[in-house]
A = this chain, B = another copy of it.
Amino acid sequence: MNLSAVMKPRAIALIGASAREHTIGHDLFCRLTDYGYKGELYLVNPKGGEIGGRHVYKSVPELPQGIDLAIIAINAKFVLDTVDQCHEKGIQGLVVISAGFKETGPAGRELEAALAAKVREYGMTLVGPNCLGVVNTHPSVRMDGCFAESLPRRGDIGFVSQSGALGGGILNILKDLGIGFAQFISIGNQADVNAASAIAYWENEDDVRQILLYMESILQPQEFRRLATRTSRRKPILALKAGRSAAGASAASSHTGSLAGADRAADALLHQSGVIRERSLKDLFSSAKAFSLCPIPKGDRIAIVTNSGGPAIMATDAVEDYGMQMAKLSEETKEQLRSFLPPAASVKNPVDMIASAPLEHYRRTLETVLADPGVDMVLVIYLPFLGLKDTDVAQAVMDIRAKHPEKPIAGVFMTTQEFFTSLSGRDVTVPFYMYSEEGIAAFDRLNRQRKWLARPEGKIPSYETDRGAARALLDAARGESRDTLTTRESIALLDAYGIRTCRSKLARSEDEAAEFANQIGYPVVMKMTSKTTSHKTDVGGVRVGIRSEEDLRAQYRDLLAKLTERGLEKGLEGVLIQEMVSGKREMVCGLATDPQYGPMIMFGLGGVFVEVMKDVCFRLAPLTDQDAAEMIRSVKAWKLLEGARGLKPAQTGRIEETLLRISQLVADFPEISELDINPLIVSDRDGEPIAVDARVKLKA
């Protein structure tokens, strides 16, 4: 793939250029010329003639050589032939604006497949089809190949938008907010170029210092993960992934499956890749502004400088909501503030200079607070007060920012829209917001990037396992045309991969059951294992707390009677006699396969609470040790594992290992589609995690 041909073309052919106003072909022509494209622009239209005084070629074959990019805005049915002609002219890059492909149904889908195949065959690079175009604002390129309303503003953002029309809206709003960008790609139907390719291209583009993504679906998730994980350590990546609800739950029947759903997968993917996920365009833009104008902070200690208490309280609330810290100002700092602020002012953080604070107080307070080594970021709040001008305060803040570029500063100016409009025309060096929570949200994003950069990269460990035994178990099930393993098989599979399961033996008769129970030691659990009934509790197939042989024999007979009554006795393999693991903490872990994103590992609170509390965390497989460590710490039940309420602390390293071994299992055997360990009991005695029950499903 050669995105350079698309993004930095020496010459462009605009195919479908038009002289008729309010057409895409005209709009594109105007944008390219108005913005002052630095290369050669050639126009193509079968009608020929002139547009805006420029010659119009009647066909592609008439064009000269040396063209890098064709922007194609013609009826979809002519696109394939045109691509052939472009190829013959040596054109490498294509932007197909035309709609009428995948988005229109089966015929369009076929047309798009043919287009993609052609592009692959020719080794060309294609943006679109059904897209808005591409933009590069670099002074040496100045290509506005987009049919949006406004001309772009120069900045440091690389922007990928999947939706065409929305992309146009986004460009308008960015311009309006005074946010510039370096490059813009409307990927449309993503027949060739997608978000992952854009990230790959921008990884080494110095002109792009942050990457923004608007996506409705993430194609090539593993490729996306690989590239984004690497690139996000060099420049922030922010993403808005829409379609959270439309996704719908996966059809899987296990707990892990029903808790998953595509959005969980997208969330996990973005998280693991170091991509900051935004929930709204507004947040996306706010964050982008912060990354453009602020350095990454050294920590999360925030100081607030204000001339009004109310917005500072709201900002403090937001700091806590985001789990950041209010900076503790040093005695020295407070002393200094006291020396010039009036007695009614508060020199504790938030520093309230009171309503009458003059410009000079803003300057000195901000300088003083910035100098405190206990402060990592400073929010400056301004409310209009008798004659103190918003623009003057803003200028003062920017002046000080110039002297102290090492710490992020943001402004919350609760003033008129006019102020913000006036900013968009100026060279602004500090992000200004209207509301407290917006300013703190921006700091949160900077802080998240800081934490991502500080996070070790993590490794995918490799454990010794009995792969042959696992293979044999799966083959045996396949041999019987089953896609669900029995409890016994499931437990044996875990055993083969070194996961601690509770001691158990399969007994095929009452006497055998009694014998094994005596070996394992009372109390024991007796569990039916059957090839026809997977939900054991529904038929009363699990008996816990059996304390004696007498008790065991009675329970065994009762179970058999119940099964016979329902005609289910045929499938019975026998009963598992298990050690009774005593533990209040029932966790769940497992594997679900998302049809789009692939296998995901899950961990959380198990037992009867699993679906009710939904206190679970998902990550895409394969897991790194970092992923596993984060997973178990990201659920609320972590406090129980740490040893809340007098519980023995769990052996957390062992739990992490369990997750990593599951990850290895599915990497070795991709035919496993679902796996549930529920419960994974954390022993009250020594905190050991023990898999007590398991279910495994294979791909059909």
Contacts and interface: CB of A to CB of B under 8 A. Distances in A.
26 contacts: A99-B344, A103-B344, A149-B384, A150-B416, A163-B310, A166-B311, A168-B384, A169-B310, A169-B414, A172-B414, A173-B414, A176-B416, A176-B418, A216-B309, A242-B313, A243-B313, A245-B319, A245-B320, A246-B313, A282-B435, A282-B438, A417-B417, A417-B420, A421-B421, A611-B645, A613-B613
A609 B608 CA distance: 13
Contact of A280 (B23, B415, B435): B435
Contacts of A538: 646
A644 B611 contact: yes
A398 interface: no
Nearest to A311: B166
A317 B243 contact: yes
A149 B386 CA distance: 8
A636 B612 contact: yes
A623 B529 CA distance: 50
A250 to B, nearest CB: 17
Contacts of A340: none
A437 interface: yes
Interface in A54-96: none
A310 B166 contact: yes
Interface in A623-672: 636-637, 639-640, 644-647
A123 B395 CA distance: 50
A153 to B, nearest CB: 13
Contacts of A467: none
A618 interface: no
Contacts of A244: 317, 320-321
A585 B149 CA distance: 59
A165 B245 contact: no
A645 B608 contact: yes
A421 B424 CA distance: 15
Given A165-B308, A417-B421, A611-B639, 10 more contacts: A164-B308, A166-B308, A166-B309, A245-B317, A245-B319, A246-B317, A280-B435, A282-B437, A417-B420, A611-B645
A307 interface: yes
B313 A216 contact: yes
A22 interface: yes
Contacts of A386: 22-24, 27, 147
B645 A242 contact: no
B165 A307 contact: yes
B216 A310 contact: yes
Contact of A310 (B165, B316, B434): B165
Given A414-B173, A417-B421, A309 B165 contact: yes
A113 to B, nearest CB: 19
Nearest to A316: B245
A561 interface: no
A122 interface: no
A105 to B, nearest CB: 9
A104 to B, nearest CB: 6
Contacts of A311: 166, 169
A685 to B, nearest CB: 15
A214 interface: yes
